[in-house]
Amino acid sequence: MRDRDRIGAAAGLWMAGALLLGATPLLAEEAPATPAVEAATAVPVPVTACPPCDPALCDPEAYWKKARQWQGSDREDEAKLLLRDLARDYPDTPAGARAHAWLAENGDRNRDGRTEFIIGSTLMGAYFGYTATLGIYDDILDDIAWKTAAWMALGGGLTGLGASALASRWMSISDSQAMLYNFAGTWGWMNGYLLYDLIWPLDGNEVLIAGATGMGVGLVTSLALWPWLDVDEGAAQMATSSGVYALEFATLAAVLLGGDRVFRDNESASILGVLLPANGAVVGGYFLGKKLRWSADDVRFISLGGFLGNLLGGAVVASSASVRESPRAWSGVLGAGVLAGLVAGALVVQPWDDPTSAASDDVPLGAGVVHLNTTGVHFRPPLPRITPVERNGRVGVGVDVPLLTSEL
């Protein structure tokens, strides 16, 4: 892969990485039930068994109770998401029947992601317009062609703005749908670039064409899967973050194993070795995020730890001439730095202990030192605290230490 190709690939990676950078609101008192919802409670509905999973995550009644608590608060969107989950996944349970009745009475259209959807469509429309100039001129950098390209980019941006603004008046667009739609465009650009280079070496304007083709495929795919993109925002963030970091780890692993010429000497195998795990991580992150239900802010914070790990690894590489001179050494150092940053971010935030990660009323003991929500950043000094602990109906005494919790 030539240097200009690497620059193009880096641009695609940065575009996808920009999507790494929403909210973990607070709980509210339980909202009063409406007559239609209460009436649904009285309907005798056979209860079906939950699929095999953590009971705290699949108890329909717990979902219903949590959704009712969040209604009327700044967690209204998450409440509606839980109700949609109930109506879709547990239709034969009393909680599912109540959720279906509530949605039928109050409507189920969510347009919280409309702004992000319009912004993404405008930016990508501008790119399509710029690239479309190649259908008129062979070289987009010609003296006349670049002027046409500028006007075409403006036209594409305005087209994307108008089309998305009109479409979003009737579409249901959640935050997660908008996030995954924008990510699909940038991720598709990267896939189009690398797949084209895998089939035929890229040269000059072909970089733009390959990227535009992949971007189009990504956007069409996201629209085809639109109903399935309406998930918890944390699941959407998990999918995007997993893909970006899997792409980086796979690239560093290729250099670590094959040296700095691995993308020249074994280009096809190297590109496939990067694309396959990266795309697999996006799909895996989506399903894992749906199961874990971690806060989107917590996932972002962990991703920030990976970014800082990148900076740490880069600083070490820049400070050591011997490391810089060995591709295997600097790729290993960078990989170790990113991994350390992700692990440190996870230990600081501890998203598995966040109450939003399970339909539970209990605030766990082992909350992290730092936690983000709509009221800001909260810090707990890692000092021991004696606290009551309930186990199997009996109350005992425990020691709560942020990052480490044990019981006496």
**Range from 158-167, 261-270, 372-381 carrying the lowest mean pLDDT:** 372-381
The 10s digit of each residue's pLDDT in 285-301 is 999 998 888 888 899 99
- Residue 47 in this model has a pLDDT that exceeds 70: no
* pLDDT above 90 (res 308): yes
Mean pLDDT of 236-244: 95
**Mean pLDDT estimate for the chain:** 77
The reported pLDDT for the residue numbered 53 is: 42
Q: Considering all CA atoms of the chain, what is the largest pairwise distance in Å, rounded to the nearest integer? A: 80
Q: What is the C-alpha to C-alpha distance for residues 82 and 235, in angstroms, rounded to an integer?
A: 13
The strands making up 404-407's β-sheet, listed across from edge to edge, are: 385-391, 394-401, 404-407
**Phi then psi for 261, rounded to 5 degrees?**
-100, 15
pLDDT band at 324, cuts 50/70/90? confident
Output the DSSP codes for 107-154.
-----TTHHHHHHHHHHHHHHHHHHHGGGT-S-TTSTTHHHHHHHHHH
Q: Residue 179 has what pLDDT?
A: 95
User: Could you tell me the pTM of the whole model?
Assistant: 0.65
Q: What is the pLDDT of residue 369?
A: 58
Contact 192, 217 (CB under 8 A): yes
Locate the domains of the chain by residue range.
35-106, 112-230
Residue 218 has pLDDT above 50, yes or no: yes
Q: Within a 10 A sphere around the Cβ of 221, how many other Cβ atoms?
A: 13
pLDDT digits (tens, 9 = 90+) for 107-155: 656 677 899 999 999 999 999 999 988 877 777 667 778 888 889 999 9
Residues 40 and 34: their CA atoms lie apart, in Å, by 10
Give the distance from CA 218 to its chain's centroid: 15
C-alpha distance from residue 65 to each of 103, 379, 407 (Å): 15, 29, 29
Choose between 221 and 89: higher pLDDT. Answer: 221
| Contact by Cβ (8 Å): 86, 63 | yes
Mean pLDDT over residues 233-248, rounded?
A: 94
Q: Give pLDDT, residue 100.
A: 80
